Every structure is written in C-alpha cells, then in structure tokens.
Amino acid sequence: MAFLESFLAAFLVIALAELGDKTQIMTISLACRYPRLPVLVGVLSGLAFLSALAVVIGAVLFQFVPIVYVRSAAAIAFIAFGIWTFIEKEEKLEDKECSSSIQDEKKRFLKIFSKCFLIISSAEFGDKTQLSVIALSASLSEPLAIFLGAVFAFFIVNAPGVFLGKKIAELIPIKYIKIASGILFISLGIFFILEVLGFF
C-alpha cells in the first residue's frame, strides 16, 4: 500500500475503534478534574508512545516473518477484533457534571501530564487498538504512515472530549459506532484473507 492509503487505513481503524471506547471516556473524566492542556498532552503522549511501540513490533514482524503468515495472522486478529467490538460491554461515563472552571489550576503541568500519561498508557497497553496498530504495521510496508494515522486518529477522537467534556459523550451514538467499527475490522480481516489467497 502507498503511504496515503496506509495512513488512511490506520486512521479509520483507530478512529472508529476509539469512539466511545474507555480511552475517550477516561479522557473526558480527566478533563473534568484537571486543566485541559496537560490532560490533552498527557493522553496523546501516552497513546503516541504505545503506537510507536506497536509500529516497531509490527515492523520487526514485517521484516523477519514471511508475509503470508503475518497477513494470515492479521486477518484472524481483525476478524476477532470485529467480533470483540460487537460483544464488548458499552463504556459509560460516570454521572458527574463537568465543571467549566479549572479546579486544580495550582497543580503543576508536569504532575498532571505524568498522571494522565501513566493512566492512559496502563489502560491501553495490550488493548485492541494497540494490537490493531501492530497488525497493520506488520502487514503493510509503511510504518511511519501507520504511526501518523493512528496518532492523528487519537487526536481527532480525544481532543473534543477534552474541550467539550460530557456533552460530546452524550451526542455520540455508541451503538452505531460499534457496529461500524466491527464491520470495518471484519472487512479488513476478509481483505487480508483474500490477499493471501491471491485475489489482490
């Protein structure tokens, strides 16, 4: 795949997978309690770190494991992610009002940044989105495009949550997003199967 196609593939997969996911819910919750800038920077830094780690793992697999095995494994993984998306429980935001005032403005930027970074990194490590980045990076030959697409998707999904708080969560039709996400995962799995079989 070309750079742009790989970027778009990563962006679509991660964006749909993250809408209404626990990361977005946690980001909104953190933004309700802490100043927005360190929350946004901490969350995105944690997600970028995990994405970089996933891309490196995927790139190593791409170089040293025969592509037919890599894409077969990726196909199985994406179909499994699709099924997982359909059956996983819906994440809910705690029923607390988000204050528009900054309650903890005296806290240092670094302390809040570190807390958000650690919370998000711990929660997302080994999650289906990180595994998706590994699978994409292992299957495609554009690791930089995969990384940039994933990070851009994380930004697009989580930045509104930081600035709009609970309102954005109430406007998202989670049920339909999960359906679209599941269909996309399964479609990618089928695509990789057909590619392995020589149809593409």
Report pLDDT digits (tens) over 86-113. Answer: 886 655 545 444 554 444 455 578 888 9
Average pLDDT over residues 134-161: 90
95 vs 157 pLDDT, higher one: 157
In angstroms, rounded to a whole number, what is the distance separating the alpha carbons of residues 138 and 54? 9
- Work out the pLDDT band at 72, boundaries 50, 70, 90: confident
Q: What are the pLDDT digits (tens) for 24-61? A: 778 887 887 778 889 999 999 999 999 999 999 988 88
Q: Could you tell me if 139 and 62 are in contact, meaning their C-beta atoms sit under 8 angstroms apart? A: yes
Q: Could you tell me if 121 and 50 are in contact, meaning their C-beta atoms sit under 8 angstroms apart? A: yes
- Work out the pLDDT band at 184, boundaries 50, 70, 90: confident
In angstroms, rounded to a whole number, what is the distance separating the alpha carbons of residues 42 and 188? 31
Percent of the chain with pLDDT over 70: 82
Q: What is the pTM (predicted TM-score) of this model? A: 0.73
Q: Is the pLDDT of residue 161 over 50?
A: yes
pLDDT at 178: 73
Average pLDDT over residues 148-166: 85
Q: Could you tell me if 46 and 121 are in contact, meaning their C-beta atoms sit under 8 angstroms apart? A: yes
Kindly report the backbone phi and psi dihedral angles of residue 186, in degrees, each rounded to the nearest multiple of 5, phi listed first. Answer: -65, -40
- Work out the pLDDT band at 117, boundaries 50, 70, 90: very high
Token duo for residue 62: 């791409």
In angstroms, rounded to a whole number, what is the distance separating the alpha carbons of residues 67 and 59? 11
pLDDT at 23: 80
Average pLDDT, the chain: 80
